[in-house]
Chains A and B, each alone.
Chain A
Amino acid sequence: KQEVTQIPAALSVPEGENLVLNCSFTDSAIYNLQWFRQDPGKGLTSLLLIQSSQREQTSGRLNASLDKSSGRSTLYIAASQPGDSATYLCAVKASGANSKLTFGKGITLSVRP
């Protein structure tokens, strides 16, 4: 059974800092990995999707990497801003495009002005 872990559960950093959010998963036979952002009481917004054959994806100040063999992904946020404050969730899709996403509990990020 796939398990996804995100540690720490919460993180507080000053504005402007570069930071790394970690995600680990137990079964390396994944189809893809997706990072989401969730604001309080809201739905999930997809940030980056990395296919199993890819090593990284970039979008603006965000960069996500994937190391399937070690069961790890990182989300790098450059020059953090107060507007980046949210919960960041990592989810993996098992092999086979039709399979479900397994989510971590998320990391709640607070960027202090």
Chain B
Amino acid sequence: ETGVTQTPRHLVMGMTNKKSLKCEQHLGHNAMYWYKQSAKKPLELMFVYNFKEQTENNSVPSRFSPECPNSSHLFLHLHTLQPEDSALYLCASSQGFSYVKSTEAFFGQGTRLTVV
């Protein structure tokens, strides 16, 4: 248990569906991240939030829409996805700023998404 919880663990959705992934951390971290992990590829950073503000969007298509209502929760809203969006979506959190010595990242268990 890393302190970062993702739900659901598995999701199958049609290309016309709308669904949301949820991430929650109670580690007191102020930075949260969404990563995509596809087979045979390195983890790809999608979004970064610091103190609820989006600080990075790594050229992610608009069919992925993040939301960070507070420092403990992060959502990824999905709509009109494509089959190639099927992947493991990982959430992570860390202390984002340099006054904290350690910026170790902690990851959730991921949501295995299949788009049919």
State the main secondary structure of chain B at its contact with A.
Answer: loop
Count how many chain A residues have C-beta atoms less than 8 Å from C-beta atoms of the other chain: 26
Which residues 31-51 of A have a CB within 8 angstroms of B?
31-32, 34, 36, 41-46, 49, 51
Q: Which of A43, A89, A103, A106 contacts B108 (CB 8 A)?
A: A43
Number of A-B contacts (CB under 8 A): 66
Q: Is the CB of A105 within 8 A of B108?
A: no
Count how many chain B residues have C-beta atoms less than 8 Å from C-beta atoms of the other chain: 33
| A68 vs B40: C-alpha distance when bound (angstroms) | 27
Beyond the given A43-B109, A105-B41, please list 10 additional residue pairs across the A-B interface where CB-CB is below 8 A: A34-B104, A36-B107, A41-B112, A42-B109, A42-B110, A51-B102, A97-B103, A100-B48, A101-B45, A101-B105
Q: Can you list 24 residue pairs at the A/B interface with Cβ under 8 Å?
A: A4-B42, A32-B103, A34-B105, A36-B107, A41-B88, A41-B112, A42-B110, A43-B2, A43-B6, A43-B90, A43-B109, A44-B90, A44-B107, A46-B105, A46-B107, A49-B102, A49-B104, A91-B43, A91-B105, A98-B96, A100-B33, A102-B42, A103-B42, A105-B40
